[in-house]
Amino acid sequence: MFLFRLAFCFWVVGWGTIAFAASPSESTRVHISGQVVDQEAKPVANITVRSIAYADVDQTVTDAEGKFTVRVDEKWLSQLGIVADDVAGNRMGLFTTRYDKPLSVDDTIIITLESCTELPVEVVDSAGQPSAGTIVGGMIAIYPLTTTVTNPEGQATLRWPESRLPHTLYALKPNAGFDYRMVTTTRDKTHRADWLKTPPVQFQLSKAETIRIRLLDRDEKPIVGAKVSPWLFNKPGEPDSFNLSFTPLLFTERTDQEGIATFRGIPDWATRFLTFWPSSEELVHQRIEFKLDKYPDRLQTVHLEYLVPVSGHLRTQQGEPLEGIVVHARGAGSSSLDNQQQQATTDHDGKFQLMLAPDYLYSLAVSSEKWGSPLLEGLFIQPGKSIENLVLSARPATHITGRLSVGADASPLPDKQILLQRVAHNSSAFPKESRSGPFHDRFYGSPTHTLHTRTDDQGRYEFFVGPGKYKLIGPSQVERQEFEVFAQPKMQLDLHAPRKESGPFSGSVVTGNPPRPVPHAMIYGIYRAALSVGDLKLQSDENGRFQDTRQLHRMVLYAKSEDGQSAGMLEIGPDAADATIAIEPVSSAEGRLIDHQTRVPLARREITWGRKIPIGNDDAPWRTAWGGRTTTNENGEFKITGLVVGETYQINLQLSESSSRTIAEIERSSAKSTNLGDLPDNLPRGNR
């Protein structure tokens, strides 16, 4: 209960002179109703019910019939979590939505109470002393739905429903320190939280650092009252990051009269590189990358643009205004990061107004069960220059239906996501003379409009769209379809997957002749499919065996012994259910990096290496993996290690954190170390 009171108070206090909304307007909140029942489906009265929808929180108590109503900001219905807590009976129940199945105000929620798991915890500060008044919480799905507070001895008991194990536990003392521990993560199936078996679970708050972000507008004036939030904390030794996007009440700050947001509780282990996001109804949602080596005084100044109003009318082909239709805007920048999306609803005159980030290329469209429109393209939005009197022409929507099936018997695939994409033209499609300001010579990508739905119990899906060219994208096993809509009232497009998305997978790691099992080997897999999700990570048991599930795509496997002295690779097809990976002693190579013109050795340059893996066919975009990085010494010399015999490695010179240049490709035929000689800092074009 303490977290709710603390967070809610933090959220509603006004911090600046600009009128940024501190809490959702009542006009944007809707009422969500439900009922709390016990294991026999009988209603339970006097149960505390708390809802969390991003930063919008509410709390109530069930009535005599177990019924409750909470108020939720309508725009966060797809991120709603509700916890029912029977403290006296040590029971809890949870309800969580899925982002692709947002809750409707007409839905009635049933929350069933169940017995709680209890976990004693102890929290100490950075000096090792008990930390009283520290918030301890657990993340379930994307929600901090279970919380408690430590007593004067730094002790507390965290509770959650037996069937809903948190994936992350955290401890926070505002402005004083933070810690987290991963229980489970999809990124590392080998991770085991054995510490859960030996309570109390220990947390040690980090040393707290202070970072300041100053926001200025284009006229160098402070931006006052804007919210700023860090994104990810990456703690050394943990298998995954802590995503603060799901806990905005913990670290969000507002800018003061000087435009500065001050973060006093940032963990010292997280300060080397952090991403912050500003948030307001008037400012561009722009990524802010803080690097400690670039800002040693821990103050970063960022210039933000204000959103630009863009307005127009939606009319039928006969010129009649359309009310209550959502207009979607999609914007593409000069890079693939931070693309923009906004929407607005037409009024009774068919008028809409969007607030769009400048320096993006936009396209507009509408889609509803009754109306669709062609794309309105080529909107280059400049800072401070509003656009008015746009006209979107609507026409009756085309109803697209289809069925998703799998296997030789064409069985239906229920509850699978289907995407429908409409890609607008990039900036090269518009004459330079039609652009002005910063758009004249700069390239901008293609704004992409994406609709999504899920298949029903029979594998069926539907969309309502306007004229245009589309890409229909199903699960990763399905070949995408491209088609064009003109004025057809209906279209049917079925999708078929040759196999399921995932299946059982087992195998062994061996070495020598005759083969001997290798216990505790690490196994990594990279899927050669653009639509795959994540990589594979496993570990062999005492008998060298491993077993799990995998996505059924072509995949490259890499295994290495526990001491890292032996390794091997193997590529398998999508239908392989078993694999034996042979490993042998690894090789190494030495070389010297020199300037390709002066032949002078290049000192203190970062070298990376890895095996090139195409994500798709052999000519598809690729990534490098299972290599390493090193730095040349004063004589330009370097050594690369862990090379698997028979595999080709790419050696790269790092030019920045995000770019590199290939300087060599090598393949080792034996475990014996080799000398590569002098390597120029560029690879001759004919050898690339």
**Residue-wise pLDDT tens digits, 489-518:** 999 999 999 999 999 999 999 999 999 999
- Mean per-residue pLDDT of the chain: 90
As a whole number, mean pLDDT of residues 213-217 equals: 96
CATH 2.60.40.1120 fits 401-424+445-497, yes or no: yes
The hierarchical CATH code for the domain 116-204 is 2.60.40.1120
Q: 259: Cβ–Cβ under 8 A, 6 or more apart, which residues?
A: 214, 215, 216, 221, 222, 223, 224, 226
- What pLDDT score was predicted for residue 523? 97
Which CATH homologous superfamily contains domain 502-585?
A: Carboxypeptidase-like, regulatory domain (2.60.40.1120)
pLDDT in tens, 522-550: 999 999 998 777 899 999 999 999 999 99
Q: Is 628 helix (H, G, I), strand (E, B) or coil?
A: strand
pLDDT at residue 16 is higher than 60:
no
CATH class held by domain 26-112: mainly beta
Confidence of residue 437 (pLDDT cuts 50, 70, 90): low
Instruction: Give 648's strand partners.
Output: 667
As a whole number, mean pLDDT of residues 672-686 equals: 81
- What pLDDT score was predicted for residue 540? 96
Residue 221, number of CB atoms within 10 A of its CB: 10
Name the range with the highest mean pLDDT among 24-38, 111-125, 673-687.
111-125
As a whole number, mean pLDDT of residues 227-253 equals: 91
- What pLDDT score was predicted for residue 103? 79
As a whole number, mean pLDDT of residues 344-353 equals: 96
CA angle 634, 272, 263 (to 5 degrees): 155
CATH of 208-303, one of 2.60.40.1120, 3.40.50.300, 1.20.120.1200, 2.60.40.420: 2.60.40.1120
As a whole number, mean pLDDT of residues 144-157 equals: 94
- What pLDDT score was predicted for residue 256? 96
pLDDT at residue 2 is higher than 80:
no
Please check whether residue 265 is in contact with residue 244, taking contact to mean a CB–CB distance below 8 angstroms: no
The percentage of residues in the chain with a pLDDT greater than 70, rounded to a whole number, is 93
Confidence of residue 100 (pLDDT cuts 50, 70, 90): low
The percentage of residues in the chain with a pLDDT greater than 90, rounded to a whole number, is 76
Q: 324: Cβ–Cβ under 8 A, 6 or more apart, which residues?
A: 345, 346
Confidence of residue 336 (pLDDT cuts 50, 70, 90): low
Both tokens assigned to 624: 């490098």
- What pLDDT score was predicted for residue 603? 96
- What pLDDT score was predicted for residue 337? 64
Which CATH homologous superfamily contains domain 587-687?
A: Carboxypeptidase-like, regulatory domain (2.60.40.1120)
Say if residue 200 is preceded by a cis peptide, omega within 30 of 0. Answer: yes
Confidence of residue 106 (pLDDT cuts 50, 70, 90): confident
- What pLDDT score was predicted for residue 657? 73
As a whole number, mean pLDDT of residues 275-303 equals: 91
Q: Taking the domains of the chain in order of start, what are their residue ranges?
A: 26-112, 116-204, 208-303, 401-424+445-497, 502-585, 587-687
pTM strictly above 0.85 = no
Rg (CA), the chain: 28
Both tokens assigned to 254: 């507002």
Say if residue 514 is preceded by a cis peptide, omega within 30 of 0. Answer: yes
Helices (H) and strands (E) in the chain, counts: 2, 55
Q: Is 186 helix (H, G, I), strand (E, B) or coil?
A: coil
pLDDT at residue 19 is higher than 60:
no
pLDDT at residue 454 is higher than 90:
yes
As a whole number, mean pLDDT of residues 318-326 equals: 95
Interatomic CA distance for residues 306 and 287, integer angstroms: 14
Q: Which residue type occupies 545? A: R
pLDDT in tens, 561-606: 999 999 999 999 999 999 999 999 999 999 999 999 999 999 999 9
Please check whether residue 214 is in contact with residue 260, taking contact to mean a CB–CB distance below 8 angstroms: yes
pLDDT at residue 15 is higher than 50:
no
- What pLDDT score was predicted for residue 189? 78
Gap between the terminal Cα atoms of the chain? 61
Q: Is 606 helix (H, G, I), strand (E, B) or coil?
A: strand
- 3-state SS record for 414-463: CCCEEEEEEECCCHHHCCHHHCCHHHCCCCCCCCEEEEEEECCCCCEEEE
As a whole number, mean pLDDT of residues 256-282 equals: 92
Interatomic CA distance for residues 139 and 416, integer angstroms: 25
* φ, ψ for residue 512, nearest 5 deg: 85, 180
C-alpha separations of 539 from 103, 143, 561, 564 in Å: 40, 30, 10, 13
Q: Give me the DSSP letters along 320-365.
A: -B--SPEEEEEEE-SSSSS-EEEEEE--TTSEEEEEE-SSEEEEEE
CA angle 107, 108, 112 (to 5 degrees): 135
pLDDT in tens, 383-436: 999 999 999 999 999 999 999 999 999 999 999 999 999 999 988 888 876 666
> CA-CA-CA-CA torsion for 543, 544, 545, 548, nearest 10 degrees?
130
- What pLDDT score was predicted for residue 11? 29
Q: 679: Cβ–Cβ under 8 A, 6 or more apart, which residues?
A: 591, 592, 593, 594, 651, 663, 664
Closest CA to 472 of 418, 424, 425: 418
More confident residue, 328 or 444: 328
